[in-house]
Each structure stands twice: as structure tokens, then as C-alpha cells.
Amino acid sequence: MPTIIDGSASATFATPLPVSEGGTGSTVGAAYGRVVRTAGDITTTSTTLVDVAGATITFTTGAFPVAYGATQTMSNDSLGTFNVYNIDIDGTLQFGTDGASFRQPVAGYNVNASFSGQSAVLSAASHTIKERWLVSAGTGTIQGGTDQNHLFYAQEIR
């Protein structure tokens, strides 16, 4: 699986990659990508959705859905606030107008904010998939160092 370690750039996979399908031994061109950030934490104070730095994957799919997700640890410096995450596929948000909310129970305390999901069937074309986020207040942080990586992935489902 192609991986970008560092996450300072986005991943672009223009050619579907071969994977085995259902034990039949046939090879299909299912597209997938993975971005792992180890270059340092990502922060925002934005109360409207902004891109998570480096968490963008572009690949060409057939007419199939895409599974996506992020493995991440978050915090916010303000008690009782929310960090909110969403997936944007070609400009269409997957989790409503805001997204999946994770509450900060103790100021600055690390919280597991991992999530996953699946799109509807996409057209056979190039698609850009991005993780986006916002905070209700304060400064939100996604851990992205060598001790706690930020991992973002997407895979065509065939």
C-alpha cells in the first residue's frame, strides 16, 4: 500500500493498485491510499470546517463506494468544547453540515477521536477525499508526531 510518511503533502494515486478479490485469485484494480503524519501536531481555532493538513487522497475509482477513516488522538485546551470531524468527497460532506463531534472532558486531555465510514457508490472517475475539522471554541489539536501518529485512509470497495 502506498504511504506518505510525514503528511506534509497530500497523497495522489492516479492508478488503481492490484489487490486480491474474494479468494478467487483474480486481480482487480481497487484504488486505495493512506497518509501517516509524523511531522508534528496539527492545530486549529477555526469554528468552520477547514482541511486537516495533509489528510487528502486523490485516486481514480470504478463505479464503487469508498471506505474511509482516521485513527487519531485529539485534544482541546478548553473544557467542555468539541472537536468536530467530517469527510469531504469531491465537495460533498459525508457526516452532515458539521460532522462527528468529540467532546473535551478535561482541558488539554487526549481523547481518541478515531472514526470510519463508507460513501455511496461513486462515479467511475477521479475523486478527492479529504478529512476536515472545526472546533466549537479554544484551540483543537490532532496528535501527529512520532509517538502518536495521525493516520488517514481511503479504499475503494469492490
**Cα separation of 144 and 1, whole Å?**
20
> Could you report the per-residue pLDDT of 19-78, keeping only the tens digit for each?
333 322 324 568 999 999 999 999 999 999 999 999 999 999 999 999 999 999 999 999
Rounded to two decimals, the pTM is 0.82
> Could you report the per-residue pLDDT of 77-107, keeping only the tens digit for each?
999 999 999 999 999 999 999 899 999 999 9
List of domains in the chain: 3-156 (2.60.120.760)
